[in-house]
Amino acid sequence: MIEKRDFYINGQWVAPSQANDFEVIDPSTEEACAVITIGSEADTNAAVAAAKAALPGWIATPVQERIALVEKLVEIYSKRGEDMAQAMSLEMGAPIDMARSQQVGAGSYHLQNFIRAAKAYEFDAPLGDHAPNDRIIHEAVGVAGLITPWNWPMNQVTLKVGAAAIAGCTMVLKPSEQSPLNAMLFAEMMDEAGFPAGVFNLVNGDGVGVGSQLTAHPDVDMISFTGSTRAGIAISKSAAETLKKVHLELGGKGANVIFDDADEKAVKRGVLHMMNNTGQSCNAPSRMLVQKGIYDQAVATAAEVASKITVGPASAEGRHIGPVVNELQWTKIQDLIQQGIDEGAKLVAGGTGRPEGLNKGFYVKPTVFADVNNQMVVAREEIFGPVLSIIPFETEEEAVQIANDTPYGLTNYVQTQDGARANRMARVLRSGMVEMNGKSRSAGSPFGGMKQSGNGREGGSWGLEDFLEVKAVGGWAAE
C-alpha cells in the first residue's frame, strides 16, 4: 500500500498541518491501496499564500518562457507515462491498456494543443487599424483554484494546469480524494520541469473541506471546477461572495440520434462509446434515439454488442471495462437500473448485481434498456455508469425535441448519411458540442457545455482565454 502524505506548496513537499488520514480504495478489489492526508484550512491558506506571492513574477515572465516550461513538462510526462497509467488504473479502475492509451494520452494531447495554440495567440495586440493607439492585452486572471474529478484525472488536470500556466496564472490544485495519486505524480513532474516556487501548488482534500475553502477564499481570483452539477451550483453560490470568475464543466445526458440512413456500424459504435471508461464520462452518449424504421434491429444489435463486452480487474490487460470508482457510485447505479426496470423500460442486456464470476469489486453489468421514454428516470438522470437507454422517434423534429428535452447540454451525436440533415441537426441541438458519424472533434477544439452542463470552454485557444482577463488600453505610446 502506498503511503505518501505530503503536499506540494511553494516549490517543496511539506507535511500537512495535521493528521487526517484518508484511505484510497482500489475499486477492483475494494481494498485500500494508498493513504493520503486530507488538508486543513491552514494547508489551503498556505498554498493560496504561496500562489499569491508568486503571481507578480509569473505574470511578468515572458509568455515564451512559460510555454517553454510546459514543453519541458510534456517531455517529462511522456517519460513517466507508465507510472501515470499504473496510478490511474489502481485508484480509479481504468483497465491498464485503456489507462496507457486514453487516460495518459489525454494529458499529453491537451498540453501539446495548448503549446500550439499559445504560439499563435495574440496576448498583446493593437485594437485594429482604425485605432493604432489602442492596445488589447490579455492578462492572467490571477490565483486560480483548480478542482478536478476522478473519472478522467489527467485529462482534467492538464486542461486546467496547462492553460493556467501559459496564461500566467498561479494555481492551487485540489484533485479528487478518490484518485489523488496521479496528481501527486504530476506535481513531481511540475517540480522537475522547473516551474518557479508557488506557481503550482497541490493540496489533497475533499469538496467540503479544501474545495469549499478555495471557493470562498478572498485571495483566489478564479475557480475552475469539473464535477457534478450539484457541486457546481454550490461552488457558484459560494464564489459569488467574492465575485470570483467561475468556470464549470459539469454533467451531461447526451443524445445519440441515429436516423434510418445511418451507417451500419452506428449502433455498435454508440454502444461501445457509451461503455468506454465504464460509462464514467460526462459526454457519454447515454440516450440512443433511434428512428422507428430501424428501431427493432438497433435494439437487437445494441443488446448483442453489450452482451459481448467483458468486465474485469483494472490490472488485467486487454479490451474490457473495469469497475466503477467506489461503493457509493456502485450503489447509485444499481438503484437507477432497478428504477428503470420498475418504470417499465425493457431490459435487453445486463441488469442489477455484479457480472457473473465477480463477487468482489465495484463491477457493473453493461446494461441496455429499450422502449424508454424521455420522462423515465434513466433518461433524465446522469447515471455515470455503463447504462444505455434507447428511445424511439419518428421524425427529425421529434428527435430534436427529445434530444433537447434535458437540463443538460454537453455533447450530442448525430448519425446520418444526409449531409444537409446532419448540418441542420448540429445547428438546432442545444449543446456545447455535436459530433457526427463517429468523427470526434479535432485537436484544439473547445470542450464545454450549455445549460446545467456548465459554462466556459477548455482546450486550445478557448481554454487559454478562460484564464485570461482582457485589458483595454487607450493612448498606447510608440516604443
* Residues noted as catalytic: 249, 282
Question: Residue 186: CB partners within 8 Å, gap ≥ 6?
Answer: 77, 84, 154, 157, 161
* Residue 265: other Cβ atoms inside 10 A: 13
- C-alpha 208/C-alpha 342 separation (Å) is 34
261's CB contacts (< 8 A; 6+ apart) are 416, 417, 418
Give the number of residues written for the chain. 479
| DSSP helix/strand/coil, 160 | helix
Q: How far apart are CA 368 and CA 303, in angstroms?
A: 6
Residue 268 phi, psi dihedral angles, 5° rounding: -60, -45
The angle at the Cα of 435, spanning 105 to 288, to the nearest 5 degrees, equals 105
Distance CA 275, CA 280 (A): 8
Sequence-distant (≥ 6) Cβ neighbours of residue 2 within 8 angstroms? 24, 33, 34, 35, 181
Determine the 3-state secondary structure of 69 from DSSP: helix
Rounded Cα distance between 385 and 334, Å, is: 9
Asked if residue 83 lies in contact with residue 96, where contact means CB atoms within 8 angstroms, the answer is no
Distance, CA of 1 to CA of 292 (rounded, Å): 53
Place of cell 485500500: 32
Q: Is 478 exposed, middle or buried (0-12, 13-18, 19+ CB in 10 A)?
A: exposed
Exposed (0-12), middle (13-18) or buried (19+): which is 418, by Cβ within 10 Å?
middle
Q: How many CA atoms lie within 13 A of 466 on its CB side?
A: 31
Tell me the three state secondary structure of residue 161: helix
8 Å CB contact between 88 and 153: yes
3-class DSSP assignment, residue 290: strand
